[in-house]
Structure formats: C-alpha cells, structure tokens
C-alpha cells in the first residue's frame, strides 16, 4: 500500500517536478519492489518443500500462498507501471524539454552574436564617416592640391599618426574618388556642430560594447554594473571572444579618431 501511495505521488508530480528528481524517486521505489522478489520466491519454495515432506502445517502455508501470489502480482504490476508507463512518459517530457532548451539556447546564441555583429557594423559605418570627414577637412585646408590620390595618402598618414593603420577597401577607394570637397567656412561650422552630436553618440556607444562584453562568461564585474547575465555557452566562448576583439579594437579606433576629429575642428 505504501508503494502504491508513493507511485501515485510520483505520477502526480511527473509533469511539474524536475525530471532528475522524478527519476530518482522512481528508482528508489523500483529498488524496494525488486527487493521483494527474493522473499516472495523463497516463500513458494518453502511451501513446496513442506508439501514434499508432508509437513503437518504444509496445507496451512499453501492456503496463505494465494495472498503471497497476489503480492507478487501487485509487485509486477507496479514495476510495469513505473518502467513501461511512468518512465516512458517522463522520457517524452525530458525529450520535449531537451528540444525546447536547445531551441532556446540557439535563439539566445543567434540573438547574442547578431548583437555584436550589429555593433561592429555600426562602428564601421561611422569609421567611414570619420575618414570621409578627414578627407573633406584636408581638402578645405588645401583646396588646390588635394585630389583623390592625395586624399587617400592624407587619410593614411592621419591614421598612422594616431597609431591606427588603415587598410582601404575597393568600396572605400570608390568613396574617395567620388568625394566632393567642401569650400566655405559656413559648411565647416555645420560640420563642427554635426560632429559634436556624432562624437557624443560615439562616446555613448560604449554602453553597448560593455553589454556585449557582459554576455560572455568570466566577467562578473561588468555584469554587476550592467545587470546583464552571461548568455554565451562555454562552447561558443572562443568564437564570441573573437567577435568581441574585433568590436573593441574597431570601437577604440573610432573613439580616438572621433576625438582627434573634434580637436582638429577646435584648433582650426
């Protein structure tokens, strides 16, 4: 009766409790039921031996054997209920949970990696803007001598002076060749006002970079500040850190170039 109540309790919790907890409870009941096999079998063997030896109490024990056989049947039914029904049901739920968890982890991974890639794209778009400004600004200073080839040389020199070597892509070279250079002070003043806004956005973007950093393991101090929990699994850590390395490097380059651009405008 106690085992029946135990099985009923486990069955009532199979859809809500942790699968591991249910499995342990089932195993404990199964062990107890299996432990009854030897004494039940021993009882029947003893009855047969008493009958074979014409023991005077053999018939009394034989009459009780039906009750013991009933116990044996209940034990078998309980085992079947546990192993062929409850554990199968638990296995289905466990597999469902596994698939749901895998889907959730993949969704988190996609979202987390996409966020870093979006940040890198944001930085690169503004790097092109900064480089374009440098070209425009130098053209404003040297309108008679500053052409497409000279423009690229100047940008490379400015970048080198700030310790950030520039590798120009075909798209960037095309932007340089199509660039129209500014000629009046009023436009320069407009550039200055616009850059103040751009520079503030660039400096404020640091929070986005920190949030990306906080999503990787082993950065509790950043998570404490930003209230973010680590979302990157151990197997994805290397790939994620490589993306972070690109983001941090290019963002630092952008910040320094933006600050230098601000200084150029103030001095001018």
Taking only the tens place, the pLDDT of each residue in 145-200 is 444 555 555 445 444 433 444 444 555 455 444 444 444 567 667 777 887 888 89
pLDDT tens for residues 201-228? Answer: 999 999 999 988 888 766 544 444 444 4
| DSSP assignment string, 185-241 | HHHHHHHHHHHHHHHHHHHHTHHHHHHHHHTSTT-HHHHHHHTPPP---GGGHHHHH
pTM of the predicted model, to two decimals?
Answer: 0.48
Point out the least confidently predicted range of 3-12, 70-79, 133-142, 255-264. 133-142
Banded pLDDT at 128 (limits 50, 70, 90):
confident
Where along the chain do its domains lie? Answer: 2-101, 105-267
3-state secondary structure of 36: coil
At 70 the pLDDT is: 78
Structure confidence at residue 135 (pLDDT)? 64
Report pLDDT for 259: 83
The Cα–Cα gap between 81 and 77 comes to: 6
Specify the long-range contacts of residues 106-111, CB closer than 8 Å, at least 24 apart.
108/231, 109/232, 109/233, 109/236
């Amino acid at each position: 009766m106690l085992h029946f109540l135990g099985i009923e309790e486990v069955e009532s919790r199979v859809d809500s409790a942790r699968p591991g907890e249910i499995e342990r409870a089932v195993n404990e009941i199964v062990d107890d039921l299996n432990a009854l096999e030897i004494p039940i079998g021993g009882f029947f063997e003893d009855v047969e031996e008493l009958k074979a030896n014409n023991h005077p109490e053999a018939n009394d024990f034989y009459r009780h054997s039906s009750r013991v056989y009933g116990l044996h049947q209940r034990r078998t039914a309980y085992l079947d209920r546990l192993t062929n029904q409850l554990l199968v049901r638990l296995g289905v739920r466990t597999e469902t949970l596994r698939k749901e968890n895998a889907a959730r982890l993949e969704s988190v991974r996609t979202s987390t990696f996409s966020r870093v890639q979006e940040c890198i794209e944001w930085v690169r778009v503004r790097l092109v803007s900064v480089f374009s400004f440098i070209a425009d600004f130098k053209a404003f200073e040297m309108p008679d001598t500053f052409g497409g080839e000279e423009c690229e040389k100047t940008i490379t020199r400015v970048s080198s002076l700030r310790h950030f070597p520039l590798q120009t892509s075909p798209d960037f070279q095309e932007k340089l060749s199509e660039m129209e250079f500014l000629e009046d002070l009023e436009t320069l003043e407009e550039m200055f006002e616009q850059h103040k806004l751009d520079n503030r956005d660039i400096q404020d973007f640091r929070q986005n970079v920190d949030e990306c950093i906080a999503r990787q393991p082993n950065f509790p101090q950043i998570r404490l500040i930003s209230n973010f929990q680590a979302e990157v699994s151990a197997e994805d850590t290397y790939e994620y850190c490589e993306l972070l390395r690109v983001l941090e490097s290019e963002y630092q380059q952008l910040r320094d170039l933006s600050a230098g651009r601000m200084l150029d405008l103030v001095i001018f």
